[in-house]
């Protein structure tokens, strides 16, 4: 079978020609391969030059805290919401923003500090598995997939959430700050909407149709719970979103 994935790490603005050479070599091989341009992150000024040659580009630091757990929310997860918007005018379909691996693997077993091996709790793990798909980032599990706990398995195998990633659309940030709203237009006229509470207290998050640029009655489907949750004419409110929590829905016309 051989290999299908090549990651070139530690890139700077001086390495655009190197990535171009790799890309052309892959083309000559007649094999389908994924070429990702990586660093901690790739300098933004190199991003446009790499666009014709790479399938994805690392837009943020490593998901790593160099501590007793894989990571922590504050060490290297929550900055993704601040850093991805800086790249939205550079990335495009077939040149995807790479948010690095998802720290979702196993929070059970021996040798785990405070019962959390990943370094983030289940609420935060779910937020990772809504933001990465909304970003159209490559989805890499950051741990040993043969040792996933039940919650990690449930989060990582939700086909409705994975479909948001596979839709192949660059998202739009609707609102920033501690209570964020993102949207993503999907094939068939549906709209994916994700809300995030990056603060430290539970909060309601309301999204209006005016904010989303739509109108008319819409059916609301919760993709994490995989069920329809109602209809609305002009807005939707995510009630009591936990600190570092999220909700992911689709809106479809009647």
Q: What is the CA radius of gyration of the chain?
A: 19
* Token pair in block for residue 12: 């700077």
Ranges of each domain in the chain: 5-166, 173-253
> What CATH number has the domain spanning 173-253?
2.60.40.1180
- Low-confidence residues of the chain, pLDDT below 70? 1, 109-116
* Token pair in block for residue 143: 């741990």
- Residue among 192, 188, 253, 245 at smallest CA distance from 222: 192
CATH class for domain 5-166? Answer: alpha beta
Half-sphere exposure for 193 (CA within 13 Å, toward CB): 27
202-224 pLDDT tens trace: 999 999 999 999 999 999 999 99
Helix runs in 105-172, H state only: 122-135, 150-156, 159-166
Calpha distance 84→61 (Å, rounded): 11
Calpha distance 36→56 (Å, rounded): 5
Q: 197: which strand partners?
A: 179
Calpha distance 52→23 (Å, rounded): 9
At residue 204, φ and ψ (nearest 5 deg) are: -80, 140
Calpha distance 90→97 (Å, rounded): 9
Using N-to-C axis directions, what is the helix angle for 122-135 and 159-166, rounded to 10°? 30
pLDDT of residue 109: 56
What 8-state DSSP symbol labels residue 60?
S
53-68 pLDDT tens trace: 999 999 999 999 888 7
Share of the chain above pLDDT 70, in %: 96
């Amino acid at each position: 079978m051989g290999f299908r994935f090549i990651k070139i790490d530690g890139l700077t603005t001086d390495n655009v020609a190197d990535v171009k050479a790799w890309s052309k070599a892959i083309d000559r091989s007649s094999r389908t391969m994924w070429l990702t341009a990586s660093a901690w992150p790739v300098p933004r000024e190199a991003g446009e030059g790499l666009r014709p040659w790479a399938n994805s580009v690392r837009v943020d630091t490593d998901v790593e805290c160099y501590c007793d757990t894989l990571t922590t929310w504050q060490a290297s997860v929550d900055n993704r919401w601040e850093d991805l918007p800086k790249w939205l005018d550079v990335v495009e379909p077939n040149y995807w923003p790479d948010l690095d691996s998802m720290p979702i693997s196993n929070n059970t077993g021996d040798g785990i500090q405070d019962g959390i091996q990943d370094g983030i709790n289940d609420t935060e793990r779910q937020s990772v598995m809504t933001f990465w798909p909304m970003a159209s980032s490559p989805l890499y599990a950051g741990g040993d997939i043969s040792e996933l706990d039940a919650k990690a398995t449930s989060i990582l195998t939700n086909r409705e959430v994975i479909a948001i990633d596979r839709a192949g659309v660059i998202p739009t940030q609707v609102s920033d700050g501690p209570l964020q709203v993102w949207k993503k237009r999907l094939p068939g006229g549906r709209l994916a909407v994700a809300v995030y509470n990056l603060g430290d207290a539970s909060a309601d998050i309301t999204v209006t149709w005016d904010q989303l640029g739509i109108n008319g009655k819409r059916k609301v489907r919760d993709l994490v719970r995989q069920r329809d949750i109602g209809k609305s004419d002009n807005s939707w409110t995510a009630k009591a979103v936990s600190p570092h929590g999220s909700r992911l829905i689709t809106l479809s016309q009647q």
